[in-house]
Amino acid sequence: MPACLRVNSHDKMGPCSRFLNYDRSDDFNMMNQRFRIPAFHASSLRRFTLILLCLCLLPTTLVRADKASDDFQLAIGLYKQNRWELATEMFQKYLKNYPNHTDVPLAKFYLGLTLVNQQKYKEARDVLREFVKQYPQNKNLPDALYRIAECSYLLDDLKTAESEFTDFLKRYPNHALEEWAYPYFGDVLLRQGKPDLAIKSFQRSLDRHPKGAMSQDAQFGLASSYLQNKQPDEAEKRFKEIADQKNHSRASDAQMALATSLFDRGKFQAAADAFLAVPTKFPESPLGTTARLNAGYAYYDLKDFPKAIEQFDLVAKDPAQAANALYWKGVSLKAAGQLSDAITTLEQAQQAKPSPGQQQLIKYQLADALLRNGKPAQAKTLFLELVKQAPQSDFADDSLHFATEAALLTDQLDEAAQLATRFEKEYPQSGLRLHQELLRGRIRDAQGKPEDMQAAIKHFETVLNQSKLDNTKLLARLYLARSYQKLKDYQKSIDVLKPYLDDTKTDKTTSEYADALILQSNNFNSLQKFPEAEALAKTYLKQFPNEPRYDQILANLILLTSKNDKPTEVDQYLAELEKRKPNLVLLIQTLRQLAERNYEHKQWSRAKQFFAEIVKRGSASPEFPAGLSGLSWSEFQLGEYASAATHFEQFTKEFPKNPLAAEASYMQGRSLESDQKLQAAVDVYRQTLQQFVPSRYAMLSGLQAARTLFQLKKIDEVNKAYEALLEKFPKPDNLDKILDEWALINYEAEQFDQSDAIFRRLVKETPDSELADNARLSLAESDLIAGKLDAAAKEFEALQGSDKSDQKVQEVSLYRLIEINLEQQKWEQVEKFSKDLLKRFPQNEYAAFARFHQAEAALYLNQIEAAQKELLALTTKDQIEQLGKQPWYPRVWVLLAETYFRQKKYEDVQKTVDQFREWDAESPFLYQAEEVLGRSLKNQAKFAEARKVFQKIIDAENSRRTETAAKCQFLLAETLMIQEKFKEALLAYLQVDIQYKFPEWQAPALFQAGMCHEALLEWKQALKTYQDFLKRFPEHELAARAKERIKLVQPRAQK
C-alpha cells in the first residue's frame, strides 16, 4: 500500500518574481522515499503449513519388491528432505516410466506440491489441474483444489484465483485448509477492488479461527479492506488496535498504515504523530527512517517547516538517505522563505552522492531557489543545463519553462519569446501547459503592442479558466484583474481578485494589495453591488491613509455611500473631502455625480442641493452648465416651476450654443405651462421652434405650443400651430402621430371637415403608418354619417381586406358593412359579411350582432332552416342572459316565430310568442311577434282569434299607427272578407286607407274596399273607389286589375 505522499515544489516567490507563485504537486515523487505498507500476506506461515500438510499426507514406507515402488519411494524421500529439484526430476521420471502404476495419482499430486515449493507456480498449477481432472474422486482432491487457487494467487492471476477459492470454499467449507483459504480469498478480493467482499472473507476467517495461525494477517487484511472500502474511521481504529499489540506480527505495519491513512485524509498533524510513533514504539523496525521521512512530509504539508527540517536533519544522518533528506530540507527552507539557506542546503545535497535522478531534481530546486532569490541570470544557466543534460527527463519541461521566466525577468524579451516557442515545439504535451500559457501571456503583455495585449488577455483567460492549482490561479488573477475590468467583465474580475484579497497570508501593506482593493471596489460598483464596493473602499482608506490616491478613493466612497442610501455618511465624507482641500475638479465632479445620482433616484431635494453647490462655485467650472441645467430640472421636478423657468431661461441666454440650450428653452415653456401661465408658455414654445430648428426640442416645442393652445380652446390658433410645426419639420419621424393627434383635436372640437382633411393628409403622406388604417376608418365613417353609403361601403370593404389594417379596424369595417347592407336590404351581402366577421374573428365584440343578422339574411333569402338553427342558438338560457340587453335581441323572437310560420308550424309560433312574452312582457317589440301569431291564426282559419290579436296590436301604445298596425288592420279586414262579412270588411279596409300613411298597405286596402262595394252591389261606390285607386296608385301592381274592374262595374253604375 503506497504512502501516497507528495512533494510541493513552488510555494512563495521572492520579490524578483512576485507573481510567480504556484505549486506543481506530484512533480517530485522521484524524491519520495516511497514505501509499501505490507499488504495482507502470510508467506512464512504459508510455507510452514505447506510443508507440514504435505508431510502429513505422505504415505508410510511400503516394502515393495518392484522397481516402480522403489522409484516412487525415492522421490518421496527426496521430498521429505526438501530436495525439491531432485524430487521433481524423480517424480517426473517415475510418472514417465510407470504411467499405470498404482501410485501415479499420488505422485502427480506431490509433483505439483514440489513445484509449488520451488515457486514454479504455473507449472505446479498445470500439474495439479491435470490431477483434478484425471482423479476427481481422489482423497487429495480438496488439497489440490486449494493449491491450484493458491498458485493462481501467487501468480497474481487474481480473477482466476477468486473463482478457484470460491469453488474450494463452496465445495469444502469445513476442510482444514479453509483456515488459510479465507484470508487468501480476502486478499484476492481486496486486490481486485472488491473491499466489501474482502471484508466478509476476512471477517469469516476471524469468526471461525479467532486465534488461528492466520488471525493476525486476517486482522490486518480486514483493516486494509475497510480502508479501501472508504471507511477510514473503522480502518484506522483497527490499525490502531493492531499497532497497540506489541507482540502482534503486523504491529509496525499497522502503525505505518494508520499514519499513511491519516496523511491521505489530510490529517497531517495526526499523521506526523503516527509516523513518529513508528521509531518510538518499534525501534527495531526497518520502517523507522521511512516513517521519520514521511513525518517530515506531513509537517511540510502543515507548513510547519521548522519541524519538517528537524526530521529531515535526522534522516540525513543515514548516508543512504542523506541526498534525499537534504533535498527536502532545502525545499522546506525555500518554502519558509529562507532562500539563502535553501541554496546552501541544496548545494550540500549535490555533494551527498545523489543518484542521477536526484542530481537533476536538486539542480532544478537550486535553480528555482536562485530564481526566487532574485538571481534569474544564474537560475537561467542551471535551467538550460538541465534541459541539455536530460531533455527527456520529467523536469526538462519545467526547466525550459523557468529558463523562459528568467529571460523575461532580465528583460530579454526576444530570447524569452524564442524559448517559449521552443517549449511549445519540444514539449507540446507538458503538464506545464497552463503555466507556459501564463508565461506567454506575460511575454506578450511586456511586448506591449495592441495585438500583443489581445493575445496576452487570451492567454490569461485560458489559465484562469483551466487551472486547478490555487497558486497558478493567483498568477492569473493578479494579471487578469485589470484586463477583465478593461473588458467590462466585472464579475470575472471579482472572481480573479477574491482569493487574493481573502487570503489571510496576503501581505496587506503592499501597493499591489491597495491596487487589488481599488480594482475590486470598482468591480462591485460597476455591478451595482454597492455595499461590497463601499466596504472595500473603507478598508483601503483605513489601511492606506497616506497613499496618494486617498482623495480619489474618498470621493469614490462618497458616491458609494450615496448609492447605499446613507445621506448622513455622504455629508460626513463630503465635509472631510472639502476639508482636505482636494483638486477642485475632483470636488466638483463628485458633487455632479452625487447630484445626478440623486436626480436619477428622484431625490429631487438632494439633487437640487448638490447642483446648487456646483452653480455656487461659479461659471468658470466646466461643470457649471451641467450644474445649472440640473438645478433647473430638480426645481421642475419639485414643482418649483417659477424658479425652474427662471433658471432654464438663464441657461438659454448664457449658453445659447450649448447642446442643452434647446432642451432648456423647451423646459422653460414646460415650466411656465405647469405653472398655468399658458400664454407665456405658448410664446416660449413658438420662440424655441423658431430659434432651435432642427433640434428635436424645437419640434417638441412646436407640438407643445399646439397642445397648449388647445387647452386655451383656441382651435384656429391650434391649427396654425400645427401648420407652423409641419412647415419647420415637414417630415418628422412621428409625422403620422402628429397628424393623428391634430385630426383628433379637431374631431373633439367638432371641426369634422378639418379633421377629415387631416386624416386624408395622414393617409397620403404616411400610407404605411400603423395609424393609416385608423385614419381611413374615420374617413369611411364620416362618409357613413353623411349618408354616402356606397363610398363608405367601398372604403370599409378595402379596409377589411387589407393586410395593413389591424384586427380592430378589420372587425369594425366588417361590422359597418353589415350595417350598410342591412340599411340597403342587400341580404346576400349581409350574409356574406356576417359570415366573414364570424370566421375571421370569432371572439370579436360584434359576433352576436353578426350571428343575428346572418340569421335574418338567411330568412330573407328563404334559407328557413339555417335561419331557424341560428336563432334557436340565440335563445338558450346563457345566450339570453348574455345578450338580452342588446337592442336587436327582441327581434330574435320575432324572426324565430316567422321561421315557424313559414314552416306552417303554428303551435311553435304560439310557443315562441309565449316565450317572448315570458322573457319580457313589456317589450316594445312584442307586438311584432304577436303579428306573426295573428297571421298563423288567420292561416288556421281561426279568424275570431286572429282578429283579437290584430286588434290588440292596432290598439297597443307601442304599435299604434305603426306600419305593423296598418298591416294588422289590413289582415283583420281580410279575415272579415274571407268570412264574407263585406260590410264590416269594407269599414276595416277603409280604416287602413284613412288612418295610416303606408301606401304599401293603403293601396291593396283601397282595392279590396272596391271589391267589398261590388259584393254589396254598391256599383257607383265601387266605380268611384277604383277610380280613386288609379288616381292615387297608378303604378301599383293592382292597377291593371282595377282597370278591369272599372270596365265591369261602370255599365252597372250607370243604370
pLDDT of residue 15: 25
pLDDT at 324 over 90: yes
Assigned C-alpha cell, 674: 405647469
pLDDT of residue 455: 83
pLDDT at 23 over 70: no
Which candidate, 806, 750, 800, places its Cα nearest to that of 780?
800
pLDDT of residue 915: 96
Contacts of 199 (CB under 8 A, 6+ apart): 186, 222, 225, 226, 229
User: How far is it, in rounded angstroms, from Cα 600 to Cα 528?
Assistant: 14
- What's the distance, CA 982 to chain centroid? 93
Overall average pLDDT of the 778-789 stretch: 90
Which candidate, 730, 723, 732, 731, places its Cα nearest to that of 705?
723
Give start and end residues of each alpha helix (H) in 302-392: 305-316, 322-335, 339-350, 356-372, 376-389
Q: Exposed, middle or buried by CB within 10 Å (0-12, 13-18, 19+), for 1026?
A: buried
Buried b / exposed e across 326-360, counting CB within 10 Å, b at 16+?
bbbbbbbbbbbebbebbbebbebbbebebeeebbb
pLDDT at 93 over 90: yes
pLDDT of residue 868: 95
User: How far is it, in rounded angstroms, from Cα 575 to Cα 635?
Assistant: 25
Assigned C-alpha cell, 204: 469469516
Portion of the chain with pLDDT greater than 90, in percent: 72
User: How far is it, in rounded angstroms, from Cα 1017 to Cα 200?
Assistant: 135
pLDDT at 597 over 80: yes
DSSP 160-226: HHHHHHHHHHHH-TTSTTHHHHHHHHHHHHHHTT-HHHHHHHHHHHHHH-TTSTTHHHHHHHHHHHH
Overall average pLDDT of the 53-59 stretch: 46
Choose the weakest-confidence range: 20-29, 105-114, 543-552: 20-29
pLDDT at 28 over 70: no
Overall average pLDDT of the 25-48 stretch: 36
Assigned C-alpha cell, 225: 479492506
Q: At what angle do helices 1019-1032 and 1039-1053 cross, to 10 degrees?
A: 150
Contacts of 277 (CB under 8 A, 6+ apart): 243, 255, 259
Assigned C-alpha cell, 1049: 262595374
pLDDT band at residue 32, thresholds of 50, 70 and 90? Answer: very low
pLDDT band at residue 581, thresholds of 50, 70 and 90? Answer: confident
Which candidate, 476, 400, 399, places its Cα nearest to that of 445?
476
Overall average pLDDT of the 286-298 stretch: 93
Q: What's the one-letter identity of residue 815?
A: Y
Structural contact between residues 666 and 645, judged by C-beta atoms closer than 8 angstroms: no
What pLDDT digit, counting tens, does each position of 490-526 carry? Answer: 897 888 888 889 988 888 888 888 888 899 899 999 9
pLDDT band at residue 588, thresholds of 50, 70 and 90? Answer: confident
pLDDT of residue 894: 96
Overall average pLDDT of the 533-540 stretch: 92
pLDDT of residue 846: 92
pLDDT at 593 over 50: yes
pLDDT of residue 398: 85
Q: How many residues does the chain have?
A: 1055
Overall average pLDDT of the 549-574 stretch: 91
HSE-up of residue 1029 (Cα within 13 Å, Cβ side): 30
pLDDT at 3 over 50: no
Phi, psi of 36, rounded to the nearest 5 degrees: -115, 115
Overall average pLDDT of the 690-707 stretch: 93
pLDDT of residue 11: 29
Overall average pLDDT of the 708-734 stretch: 92
Overall average pLDDT of the 821-825 stretch: 92
User: How far is it, in rounded angstroms, from Cα 344 to Cα 347?
Assistant: 5
Buried b / exposed e across 522-552, counting CB within 10 Å, b at 16+?
bbbbbeeebebbbbbbbbbbeebeeeeebbe
Overall average pLDDT of the 278-291 stretch: 91
Portion of the chain with pLDDT greater than 70, in percent: 94
Choose the weakest-confidence range: 55-64, 169-178, 339-348: 55-64
Structural contact between residues 902 and 937, judged by C-beta atoms closer than 8 angstroms: no
Overall average pLDDT of the 602-610 stretch: 93
Overall average pLDDT of the 231-258 stretch: 93
Overall average pLDDT of the 825-854 stretch: 93
**Hunting for cell 463452496 — which residue is that?**
170
pLDDT of residue 711: 93
Overall average pLDDT of the 1024-1040 stretch: 97
Cis peptide bond prior to 136, omega within 30° of 0? no
**Hunting for cell 487429495 — which residue is that?**
140
Which candidate, 973, 1014, 980, places its Cα nearest to that of 995?
973
Overall average pLDDT of the 15-33 stretch: 30
Structural contact between residues 199 and 222, judged by C-beta atoms closer than 8 angstroms: yes
Structural contact between residues 113 and 147, judged by C-beta atoms closer than 8 angstroms: yes
Structural contact between residues 205 and 214, judged by C-beta atoms closer than 8 angstroms: yes
Which candidate, 942, 936, 946, places its Cα nearest to that of 973?
946
Go through the domains of the chain in sequence order and give each one's CATH number.
961-1055 (1.25.40.10)
The DSSP secondary-structure symbol of 60 reads P
pLDDT band at residue 460, thresholds of 50, 70 and 90? Answer: confident
User: How far is it, in rounded angstroms, from Cα 374 to Cα 559?
Assistant: 43
Contacts of 1045 (CB under 8 A, 6+ apart): 1010, 1011, 1014, 1022, 1026
**pLDDT, mean over the chain:** 89
pTM of the complete model beyond 0.85: no
pLDDT band at residue 1018, thresholds of 50, 70 and 90? Answer: very high
pLDDT of residue 424: 87
What pLDDT digit, counting tens, does each position of 863-895 carry? Answer: 999 999 999 999 999 999 999 999 999 999 999
